[in-house]
Chain A
Amino acid sequence: MLELKNISKNLGEFSLNNINISVKEKEYFVILGISGAGKSVLLEMIAGLLKPDSGSIVLSEQDITHEKIQHRDIGIVFQDHAVFPHMSVYKNIMYPLKNMGTPKTKAKEIVHRFAALMNIDHLLDRMPSTLSGGEKQRLALARTLVLEPKYLLLDEPLASVDAQLKSELRFLLRKINRMGITIVHVTHDYEEAISLAERVAVIYQGELIQTGTSKEVFNNPKSKFLANFTGIKNFFSAKGLSENLSIAEDKVKVHHYKETADSDGYILFRSEDVIVSAANNPSSTLNNFEGKIIDIFPNIHGMELLIDIGIEITAHVTNESVKHLQLELNKNVWVSFKSTAVKFIPHE
């Protein structure tokens, strides 16, 4: 078990405050957050490259907060690969083995084994400057894995590779995890987190805002930041008024499906579920509002409308609908969305 206990670190431009995380053995754990949230700093502290201002790091029940970098059973791979540019692929992988004093014949065998595992055994004589981003990433992984670390820390490992390589590398990372290596993976890409993580921790502005299984976290985002992050733009704080009615932002009453009793929390619904019409047509939907279009701009699916119904909600419509309904700035429209499309998430 790897435990971060009340870790704080002030780095001037931003700080990490009171972070508590436990990573179970053999788990694939993803730390998710936007750039500059402090995720990489957290990894560097686990690896021992930075010291926390306060708090402790416990690995297998041993406090390693002040342990030397070399004595931690932890490997780290950076986004920029950090391969040694003056050494061939072979020498890069050999480097840690030499440091550990592995006998030459055995070291050679290990280099070839891990190079084959990472599918770079045909590149052993090449210099890093001749490798592609994906090949460098595999080299960095092979070089760290020869140490057979118990824990592998990955700092945005897929950020600088193209889409096709991403899926290959994801497969490789799952394979490494199945070998029994615990992985702590830092990313700003929530799809990467969904595809790889058993559990996720979300960091925002230096604070840990949510931890849980991927399903728990992404189905029930407990912050506007995470909701936006996962593409949900309609996210409002809400007060429960009855079992299936809440008031959003103290302004607009919204019907929803889930029972709430009297609790406070958040409501959220997807922009795709919002129907925009020119008139108040009778329908089965319980949430019908008149509002004004206050912004309109294109997105990959068509157009995105920002409509003020007392709260500002986002709707996605096709270009055809924009033309057909003559949707334009400052036009009054009717919006509706089904109560079953609205999710209520109570505060913890």
Chain B
Amino acid sequence: MNKLQPLYLVFVFLGGLLLLFIVAPLTGMVLSTSPSSFFEVVQNKEVIDSIKLTILTSFGGTLFFAFLIIPLAYLMARKEFPGKKIISGIIDLPIVIPHSAAGIAVLGFISRDSVIGKAADSVGLNLIDHPIGIALAMAFVSIPFLFNAARDGFEAVPVRLEKVALNLKASPTKTFFTISLPLASRSILSGFIMMFARGMSEFGAVVIVAYHPMITPVLVYEWFTSYGLAYARPAAVLFIAICLIFFVTLRLLVKNKEQQRHA
């Protein structure tokens, strides 16, 4: 291996500082948590229910919105039309607005006075303080992650392969499902995981739409404000551990699928 030049040594040092900034607080939190308090939290029904709710609402929201995101991402990747840049801007809006403001916007959108709220009310559903409301708030702030990944994925599929499929007597629908979608699937799955993860970690928007039932980030916040840092820490550690297990597993699944394809 070549000897590292001074410039690279400086870069390595700066990069190391950055990694430390991320890893140190998390490690500190884990190390400050005693095994007994951790196992206590693992058996706490309130915590377990909140984790289940967080995972389900985020996953459900991501899955539901995937059906709306993927078709638009395909259109944006393949077609030129007026207003395309405006649509891109709209999709990225949730990244730049404060999430508490996003929560207020979603709350107004699903409140009983709104069209959606009234429609839900007519079937006996109150979206505020409801898992569906939570899922909507989570999705609102995390849509750009799946959308941008899916659009990039479709853009990377050679148009020629789609044309060949049409020449081989496939209908446009069949071409989409047998060529475009499978070939963009890696990007889409990565985007799906990112949207799901971002949804799970959302606090600001969700706390405004639904304080109860409590998702884990809200529960950790409540325990912290009511009982202090030491009380909230084990629940936070457990939630981080579960998130990590989920994402590593999902990422491995996506990777294995890719390897099988190229085997």
- Return 24 A-B CB contacts under 8 Å, by A number: A47-B167, A69-B163, A70-B170, A78-B164, A80-B160, A82-B161, A82-B163, A82-B164, A84-B161, A84-B165, A84-B179, A85-B183, A86-B182, A86-B183, A86-B261, A95-B170, A96-B168, A99-B169, A99-B174, A127-B261, A127-B262, A129-B262, A144-B167, A147-B168
Q: Which residues of A contact B262 (CB under 8 A)?
A: 127, 129
A310 to B163, CA, bound (A): 53
Tell me which residues from 167 to 195 in chain B have a Cβ below 8 Å from any Cβ of chain A: 167-171, 174, 178-179, 182-183
- Are B158 and A82 neighbours in the complex by a CB distance under 8 Å? yes
- Are B263 and A127 neighbours in the complex by a CB distance under 8 Å? yes
Q: Which residues of A contact B165 (CB under 8 A)?
A: 84, 95
Given known pairs A69-B163, A78-B160, A85-B183, the reply for A143 and B263 (CB within 8 Å) is no
Q: Which residues of B contact A75 (CB under 8 A)?
A: 167
Interface of B is mostly: helix
A315 to B262, CA, bound (A): 53
The interface size bin for chain B is 20 to 34
Contacts beyond the supplied A99-B168, A99-B171: 12 A-B pairs with Cβ under 8 Å: A49-B166, A49-B167, A70-B166, A78-B160, A82-B161, A82-B164, A84-B164, A84-B165, A95-B168, A99-B174, A127-B262, A143-B168
- Are B167 and A76 neighbours in the complex by a CB distance under 8 Å? yes
> Across the two chains, which residue of chain A brings its CB closest to B161?
A82
- Are A99 and B183 neighbours in the complex by a CB distance under 8 Å? no
> Across the two chains, which residue of chain B brings its CB closest to A69?
B166
Most buried by B among A44, A82, A100, A129: A82
**Which 9 interchain pairs have the tightest Cβ spacing?**
A96-B168, A99-B169, A69-B166, A82-B164, A49-B163, A99-B170, A82-B160, A129-B262, A70-B169
A95 to B171, CA, bound (A): 12
Most buried by B among A82, A86, A129: A86
> Across the two chains, which residue of chain A brings its CB closest to B169?
A99
Q: Which residues of A contact B169 (CB under 8 A)?
A: 70, 96, 99-100, 147
A95 to B169, CA, bound (A): 9
Tell me which residues from 69 to 120 in chain A have a Cβ below 8 Å from any Cβ of chain B: 69-70, 74-76, 78, 80, 82, 84-86, 95-96, 99-100
Q: How far is the CB of B239 from chain A (nearest CB, A)?
A: 36
Q: How far is the CB of B10 from chain A (nearest CB, A)?
A: 40
Tell me which residues from 114 to 148 in chain A have a Cβ below 8 Å from any Cβ of chain B: 127, 129, 143-144, 147
Interface residues of B (CB under 8 A from A): 158, 160-161, 163-171, 174, 178-179, 182-183, 261-263
A240 to B7, CA, bound (A): 74
A82 to B169, CA, bound (A): 15
Q: How far is the CB of B262 from chain A (nearest CB, A)?
A: 5
Most buried by A among B161, B164, B178: B164
Q: Which residues of B contact A84 (CB under 8 A)?
A: 161, 164-165, 179
> Across the two chains, which residue of chain A brings its CB closest to B186?
A86
A47 to B167, CA, bound (A): 7
Most buried by B among A49, A70, A127, A129: A70
Q: Which residues of A contact B167 (CB under 8 A)?
A: 47-49, 69-70, 74-76, 144
A47 to B183, CA, bound (A): 24
Most buried by B among A48, A75, A85: A85
Q: Which residues of A contact B168 (CB under 8 A)?
A: 95-96, 99, 143-144, 147
> Across the two chains, which residue of chain A brings its CB closest to B174?
A99
A49 to B158, CA, bound (A): 14
A183 to B32, CA, bound (A): 75
> Across the two chains, which residue of chain B brings its CB closest to A71?
B169
